[in-house]
Amino acid sequence: MKCIVCMTHVPDTASIIRIGADGQHIDETGIKWIVSPYDEYALEEALQLTEAKGGEVTVMTYGPQRAEAGLRECLARGAHNAVHILGGEKTLGDSFAIAKVLAAAIKDREFDVILVGVKGVGTDNSQVGQMLAELLDLPHVSNVVKVEWNDGAIVAEREVEGGHEVVESPLPAVLTAQKGLNEPRYAALKGIMAAKRKPVEKVDPSALGLDEDVLAGAEATYNLRSLELPPEKQAGKIIQGEDDPQAAAAELVKLLHEEAKAF
């Protein structure tokens, strides 16, 4: 089985986010960058599949130079090959542009399945996997929490509102991995040392017939005007109601109406 895993390199979810001086990017000072947590489930599923059935895992990312560290983390966990499409700063947040770049890099490669995290932590759009499938004219199953691998087909269980849905699909296909699909492994010391020596294939978008200026300009489907932090939470109010519950209830209704504007 030949698996392609699409990975994005994101700020650690424990990072303190600050807005950059231009008001359109985050201040990257002191930020720790990690493999997006949902992409970890995609990678783990690919690793388990190739360990059971043979084959290889190619991990791919579209991002700036620092994203190579994420690729090497995936190599340390067991991925066989890594592809780094350089760029991404101009198309940050544009799911369709990202899907176009990934599709262009994948279309001429051999694969049986493409695995993607259900969303990239940070933008949280949950769109790239489905768009990638459409651009490659492949069936896809999103929000996958369980999958059974058969010869030339899969039976996948996906999370939907209020329950789970079971879907059967032929291969090749695109799957977006949801939390609960598996338990991602840690990189062992031997894998970390080996990953330092493994080559990372570098690809420029222009070599794929793509122009980032056009993707971020005339063909852009997403434009970022500004970033701002949410307002600080105000201290809550405690209504003492032990002595007079009726008065406390009346005060609560008043506050919900006049201050919280709940009704």
247 and 161 part of one domain: no
Q: Which residues pair with 58 in a beta bridge?
A: 4, 81
Does residue 86 belong to any structural domain of this protein?
yes
How confident is residue 260, by pLDDT bands cut at 50, 70 and 90?
A: confident
Task: With beta carbons less than 8 A apart as the criterion, state whether 26 and 227 touch.
Answer: yes
Does residue 224 belong to any structural domain of this protein?
no
CATH number at residue 100: 3.40.50.620
242 and 185 part of one domain: no
Does residue 106 belong to any structural domain of this protein?
yes
Query: How confident is the model over 103-145, as pLDDT tens digits?
Result: 999 999 999 999 999 999 888 889 999 999 999 999 999 999 9
Does residue 230 belong to any structural domain of this protein?
no
Average pLDDT estimate for 51-75:
96
115 and 173 part of one domain: yes
- Token pair of 257, please? 């109406």
200 and 138 part of one domain: yes
How confident is residue 174, by pLDDT bands cut at 50, 70 and 90?
A: very high
Sheet strands (E) in the chain: 2-6, 9-11, 33-35, 56-63, 81-86, 113-117, 140-150, 153-160, 163-170, 173-177, 201-203
Our count of domains for the chain comes to 2
Global pTM?
Answer: 0.86
33 and 87 part of one domain: yes
Which residue, 133, 128, 116, is CA-closest to 35?
Answer: 116
67 and 188 part of one domain: yes
- Residue 95 is part of which domain span? 2-216
253 and 148 part of one domain: no
